[in-house]
Structures are given as structure tokens and as C-alpha cells.
Amino acid sequence: MSEIKRKLFAILQISSLFPAIAVLLLPQGDKVVGVQPFHLVLALALPFMLIGATLRVRLRTLLWVLIFIFFSILSILFSPGELPMPLVGTTNLSPIGQFFYWLVAMITLLVFQSYALSSKNTVAKDWRPFILGAFVVSLIGFYQIAAYYFGLYYPADWFNNNPSFLQRYGDTIWGIKRLTSTFPEASMYGLCSTGALFISLAFRGKWWGFVRLVILSSSILTLSTTAFLGIAMFFVWLSISYFRRLRYPYQKALFMLSMSAATIPLFFGLYMVLTSKANSESGFERYSSFVSGTALWLQSPLIGWGLGSGRTTDGLSNLLLNFGLIGTLLLLVIILDSFFVKMPTGCTPLKSLKAGLVAIGVLHLASNSDWIFPYFWMLLGYISGKVKADDLRESNDGKVRSRVG
């Protein structure tokens, strides 16, 4: 059963990289909903874990998850009604569909925590399928751009056929084709590639450096503010990590001087991109969506307007609008309870995963309203489970040594 669980874990990681694909089409009223590969694999994986009694999670995490799910149902049943004004960024949302997405997010957290609690593998071995999958997805993105400029065939009906999303694989900005790869739009790929960059730090060697460079290049080619912010956080993390390893003051001074010279152009470019974004029509829409979404939330501050009531263009106001202050705080408790765990001394790969979790969380709050993508919940569950498992092993080893002594 452990071998089956390991393989399912790997397939889940890889399938999460193809959200723009619909493997099943389900009718929902007068619409059709596309089931992503990740959702199908998760549904197939759960019976194996439940039958084999291998789904073991922290009871405290399970309790908070159940409370949050119960509140999500109440938010639908007792919502104040339809929004009194339209929102920029709102799509035709279904409360049941949105509940399904959040249910998948919570199950993902528990499944990855369960796997990490029982896994005896290193962090690098556990996450190798994800980073190799991200490498392949970036190559698909490169081919997508080549197909656009050289008139080659691009199988959009393979990679971008999910009716649940507005597929924007033909997007351009400043006359340049934007890379979306197997994602509905550029910013969604930018969110994923940010996580992949941090996870890639768990691997060492020239080959993994090449993989990292490929993913970084594909992220830049999205030309999205989400990706650029993620890349900036990635380089800040690299700089801090390297600075801490320096032993002598003159080394630190020289490093700070060289990094200042190197990063000033980078952050100036980022400033120009953000300024351009703020002054664009898209930037104005995002600002308007945040303001109007926050104003609506203040009309029903405790429970919001109910799950599926509306959608803004940033993660924070979208949570407050749909869940209110109570639901947002419940979700925050789940995140912080799993996030603020004591990291093992010297476990650099796990710290890299945690840094990636922080980066994805910040990007969600600022520029990505949909918390339905698995990467955040995969990392959150795995980190909390792995740390707990390591603590238990150290405790048991200590007891054994004390008995022997």
C-alpha cells in the first residue's frame, strides 16, 4: 500500500500542472463544468487511502478543516442574497461549484499531510515528480510561443480545452506572445512557476541548475506581474540564503555591494512593469475590483455574501467577500497552524518549500483571487506532515537510545 500511495502522490503532483485540461465534462444547469486531471486523480486516490487506513492526519488540522467546511455550507445557506452591484472580475459563479473547489483544496491539504507523515523519503525525492513535470510544462510553453511565431500547429484542444476557464493561450502584450503553456492564462502559470522555482532549490547539481534556468525563463516569458513579483521574491530568498553562509565581514560587504549593483536594474524593471500595469486598463480594473469588493464586504462583514457570491481580482478581498471575517479567520487558522511549525535544524530543502509556500501565499493575496490551484495546499500539507513525522522519529530514536543506554 505504501508503494501505491507513493505512486499516487507522484501522479497527483504531475496532474496538478494541467489545470487548463478537462478530462471529464459535467453538466451544471445550463453550463458544462470541466473536471481537471488533478480532481480525477484525487478522487481515484482517496479510496486506496481510506481502504488501506493510510489516511492519517493531525487531528487538530482535521478539526479545523471540518469547521471550515461546515462554515462554507452555512455561508451558502445564510448568504444575504445577490450582490447589489456588479463586480469587475466576476464570472458566472456557482456556489456548489465553488464549494467543490474549496472541498478539493481541503482534501488536498489532508492527503499531502497524510503522505508526508508516513513518507521516509527525502524532500527532494518526494518532490522530484513535480519539478520534472514543471520542466516538461515549461518546454510545452516554449513550443507554444514557437508555434505562434512560426505558424506551427499547437494542440490547444489538448492543453487548453477546459470550459471552466477563459482560455487565453493567444494572449499578447506589447505585441509579444505571452507564455501560458498548460494553464488558462499567463498569471496562473506565473503562480505555479514561482512555486516550482523554490522547490527546485531542494535539488543540487548542474542538471537541476539547467532545469531551474528553463523554468525561470518560461516564467519571464509570461510577461505577467504575478511572475515578476514571484521571481523578485525568489532572488531575494537566494540572496538572503547565500549571505547567511558567508563567514567574514569583508565577504558580506562585498556581496552586498555586488548584489546592490545587480538588483537595482532588476527592481527598476519591476517598478516599471508595475507602474505600467497600474496605469493600464487591467490595472484600473484590478483597483476598481478591490475597492468595490471591499465596500461590499463591509456591508456584511461577518459572513460576507456567501461562497460563490462574487469574484474580485485579488485573493484578500475575494476571501472577505465570499467568507466574511469569520470564514477568512478560520482559513487563516488552518494555514498558520500548519505553517508555523518548528523546522528541523539544517533542513534546507524543507525550508525552500516553506519559502515557496510564503511566495505563493503573498501572490495569491495580491494578484490571484482563485485559491483553487493545488500548489499552495500541497505544500502546506506536506510541510506540516513532514515536520511532524521528523519530530516523532527523533522522539522515538531518543527513547530507544535512552533504553539502550
Q: What per-residue confidence (pLDDT) applies to 275? A: 64
Residue 169 banded pLDDT, cuts 50, 70, 90: confident
| Digit-coded pLDDT (tens) for 270-320 | 666 666 655 566 667 777 888 888 889 999 899 888 888 888 888 889 999
Using CA atoms, how far residue 125 sits from 6, 242, 333, 350, in Å, is: 11, 24, 30, 12
Element (H, E) at 281: helix 281-299
| Digit-coded pLDDT (tens) for 123-133 | 999 999 999 99
Neighbour count for residue 85 (Cβ, 10 Å): 9
pTM of this prediction exceeds 0.75: yes
Q: What per-residue confidence (pLDDT) applies to 396? A: 44
Q: What per-residue confidence (pLDDT) applies to 401? A: 38
Using CA atoms, how far residue 197 sits from 48, 235, 260, 324, 352, in Å, is: 31, 10, 22, 33, 9
In DSSP terms, 69 is beta-bridged to: none
- Res 368 pLDDT > 70: yes
- Res 341 pLDDT > 70: no
Task: Give the Cα-Cα-Cα angle 394, 395, 399 (nearest 5 degrees).
Answer: 115
